[in-house]
């Protein structure tokens, strides 16, 4: 490990514990007819010695990551549809019972959560910087503002709409390096008794499962309960509740409020105790995680090379953003994985970032079935395997690498 730079939260010293080298933008799929010049950046991860926040050493300009043609849709998975409907239902049952209550979601994507809120007649606003997905939300009747959420945006929303009972973000807050401006915006916009709720990948799950592909340009911070509690206090808020979620390979939903406005849930103390027992914030734990990354890389590459040598066909399944880190760090290209099947129309006919593996429609997966399928979308394994049951019946086998490298 080496010490370099300062923490974006508290200004403490950062201690680097892994460097993935030069990596492409994880969601910047390449047009094979106009490859152009791909944007590469250094992907290195570090921990603050003071507040314990794990974070990237370098951030990518937000305009590069969240473009008009941003290809990810929150509603693309039935499991995520169910998750966001349940989330909206929870807000309606608890925080948004007043018919005039107002909820703001930043990073609202195609509006899958706000759709349920809107149907219940509650005032709502999505704040979404990617024009394409913002337009998709607006087409459903969702009120959406095409912008980044920050202090100035919050002030404009306050002037037009009044204060919000709930400010929510899913798989968004960890993307934002400039959290100081976001917290100032939350402070401006949130009701005195309101809550700021966000859910993002949990560093505890990433370490336990060696799911290092969760580390890519869009994920700037990697939260733990301890680091979020420290961050909240630094910006004048209090962590009052946490809930572990099974989505996206393990996330935690954090609930922040103004100090003293709510009694913290016992779950906060329980998670803090668990993280202390697991030594999650200690450097030897992160050093062990770094060692496991390289062991997984070597094992997966050896397996794929052996498959090629034996004349076995291997196809990827799910052109996920996280697969960019895996394929580029492990040196996996079209010589080892023929193509990636994905159901997102915007990705089909493109090449994966950096590794340039062709992306095709799910129909190509069965024409003919490969011998092996490398499951990049491992967080949707149950849903995908159920959908692709015929592949298994015909003798196909799945290669998974989370929580360990194995074949099923």
**Residue among 351, 340, 406 nearest 376 (CA):** 340
Clarify whether residues 52 and 79 are in a common domain: no
Tell me the C-alpha distance between 318 and 384, whole Å: 9
Looking at residue 71, its pLDDT comes to 57
With respect to residue 62, please indicate whether it lies within any of the assigned structural domains: no
Looking at residue 76, its pLDDT comes to 65
pLDDT in tens, 209-237: 999 999 999 999 999 999 999 999 999 99
Number of structural domains (the chain) is 3
Clarify whether residues 245 and 301 are in a common domain: no
Report the CATH number that the domain containing residue 294 is assigned in CATH: 3.40.50.720
* Percent of the chain as helix, strand, coil, to the nearest 5: 40, 25, 35
* Residue 265 DSSP one-character state: P
pTM of the model: 0.92
Helix (H) or strand (E) holding 231: helix 225-234
Looking at residue 35, its pLDDT comes to 75
Say if residue 1's pLDDT is above 60: no
- Three-state secondary structure readout of 6-64: ECCCCCCEEEEEEEEEEEECCCCCECCCCCCCCCEEEEEEEEECCCCCEEECCCCCHHH
**Residue among 82, 289, 61, 68 nearest 175 (CA):** 61
Give me the mean pLDDT over the 322-349 stretch: 96
Q: Which of 263, 296, 322 is the last residue of a domain?
A: 263
Report the CATH number that the domain containing residue 196 is assigned in CATH: 3.40.50.150
Clarify whether residues 238 and 102 are in a common domain: yes
- Three-state secondary structure readout of 145-209: ECCCCCHHHHHHHHHHHCCEEEEEEECCHHHCCCHHHHHHHHHHHEEEEEEEEEEEEEHHHHHHH
Listed in sequence order, the residues at least 6 apart from 253 whose beta carbon sits closer than 8 Å to its beta carbon are 197, 198, 199, 242, 243, 245
Residue 229 belongs to domain spanning: 74-263
Give me the mean pLDDT over the 146-171 stretch: 97
Clarify whether residues 123 and 240 are in a common domain: yes
With respect to residue 314, please indicate whether it lies within any of the assigned structural domains: yes
Tell me the C-alpha distance between 380 and 189, whole Å: 35
Tell me the C-alpha distance between 203 and 214, whole Å: 9
Say if residue 74's pLDDT is above 70: no
Clarify whether residues 121 and 258 are in a common domain: yes
Clarify whether residues 129 and 204 are in a common domain: yes
**Residue among 25, 3, 23 nearest 12 (CA):** 3
Q: Are 301 and 330 in contact (CB under 8 A)?
A: yes
pLDDT in tens, 85-106: 999 999 999 999 999 999 999 9
With respect to residue 242, please indicate whether it lies within any of the assigned structural domains: yes
Looking at residue 3, its pLDDT comes to 42
pLDDT in tens, 307-335: 999 999 999 999 999 999 999 999 999 99
For residue 36, count other CB atoms closer than 10 A to its CB.
Answer: 7
Go through 266-303 and write b for each residue having 16 or more CB atoms within 10 A of its CB, e for each that does not.
ebbeebbeebeeeebbeeeebeebbeebeebbeebeeb
Clarify whether residues 229 and 307 are in a common domain: no
Q: Are 262 and 240 in contact (CB under 8 A)?
A: yes
With respect to residue 279, please indicate whether it lies within any of the assigned structural domains: no
- With cut-offs at 50, 70 and 90, classify the pLDDT of residue 18: very high
Looking at residue 217, its pLDDT comes to 94
Say if residue 64's pLDDT is above 80: no
Clarify whether residues 222 and 355 are in a common domain: no
Clarify whether residues 321 and 225 are in a common domain: no
With respect to residue 162, please indicate whether it lies within any of the assigned structural domains: yes
- With cut-offs at 50, 70 and 90, classify the pLDDT of residue 82: very high
With respect to residue 111, please indicate whether it lies within any of the assigned structural domains: yes
pLDDT in tens, 36-62: 789 999 999 999 999 999 999 999 887
**Average pLDDT value over all residues in the chain:** 94
With respect to residue 33, please indicate whether it lies within any of the assigned structural domains: yes
Clarify whether residues 246 and 335 are in a common domain: no
The tokens describing 31, both together, are 């047009």
Tell me the C-alpha distance between 343 and 361, whole Å: 6
Say if residue 4's pLDDT is above 70: no
**Residue among 157, 156, 158, 98 nearest 122 (CA):** 98
With respect to residue 276, please indicate whether it lies within any of the assigned structural domains: no
Residue 277 half-sphere exposure toward CB, CA atoms < 13 A = 6
Clarify whether residues 160 and 22 are in a common domain: no
Give me the mean pLDDT over the 125-144 stretch: 92
Clarify whether residues 376 and 288 are in a common domain: yes
């Amino acid at each position: 490990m080496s010490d370099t730079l300062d923490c974006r939260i508290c200004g403490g010293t950062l201690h680097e514990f892994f460097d993935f080298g030069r990596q492409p933008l994880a969601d910047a799929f390449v047009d094979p007819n106009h490859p152009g010049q791909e944007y590469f950046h250094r992907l290195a991860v570090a921990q603050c010695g003071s507040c314990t926040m794990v974070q990237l050493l370098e951030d990518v300009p937000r305009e590069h990551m969240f473009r008009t043609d941003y290809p990810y849709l929150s509603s693309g998975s039935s499991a995520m549809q169910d998750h966001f409907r349940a989330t909206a239902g929870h807000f309606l049952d608890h925080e948004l019972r007043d018919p005039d209550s107002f909820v703001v979601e930043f990073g609202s994507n195609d509006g899958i959560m706000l759709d349920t809120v809107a149907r219940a007649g509650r005032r709502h606003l999505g704040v979404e910087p990617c024009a394409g997905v913002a337009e998709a939300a607006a087409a459903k009747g969702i009120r959406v503002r095409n912008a980044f959420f920050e202090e100035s945006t919050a002030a404009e929303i306050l002037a037009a709409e009044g204060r919000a009972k709930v400010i929510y973000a899913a798989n968004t807050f960890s993307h934002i390096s400039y959290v100081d401006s976001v917290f100032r915006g939350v402070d401006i916009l949130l009701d005195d008794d309101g809550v700021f709720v966000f859910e993002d990948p949990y560093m505890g799950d990433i370490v336990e499962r060696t799911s290092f592909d969760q580390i890519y340009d869009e994920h700037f911070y990697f939260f733990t309960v301890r680091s979020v509690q420290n961050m909240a206090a630094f910006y004048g808020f209090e962590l009052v509740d946490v809930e572990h979620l099974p989505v996206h390979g393990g996330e935690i939903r954090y609930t922040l409020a103004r100090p003293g406005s709510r009694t913290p849930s016992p779950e906060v103390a329980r998670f803090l105790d668990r993280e202390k027992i697991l030594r999650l914030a200690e450097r030897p734990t992160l050093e062990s995680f770094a060692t496991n990354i390289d062991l997984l890389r070597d094992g997966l590459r050896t397996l794929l090379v052996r498959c090629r040598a034996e004349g076995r066909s291997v196809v990827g399944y799910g052109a996920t953003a996280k697969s960019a880190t895996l394929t580029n760090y492990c040196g996996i290209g079209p010589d080892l994985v023929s193509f990636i099947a994905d159901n997102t129309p915007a990705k089909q006919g493109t090449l994966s970032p950096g590794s340039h593996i062709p992306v095709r429609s799910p129909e190509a997966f069965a024409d003919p079935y490969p011998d092996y399928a490398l499951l990049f979308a491992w967080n949707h394994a149950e849903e995908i395997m159920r959908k692709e049951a015929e592949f298994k019946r015909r003798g196909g086998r799945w290669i998974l690498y989370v929580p360990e490298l194995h074949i099923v």
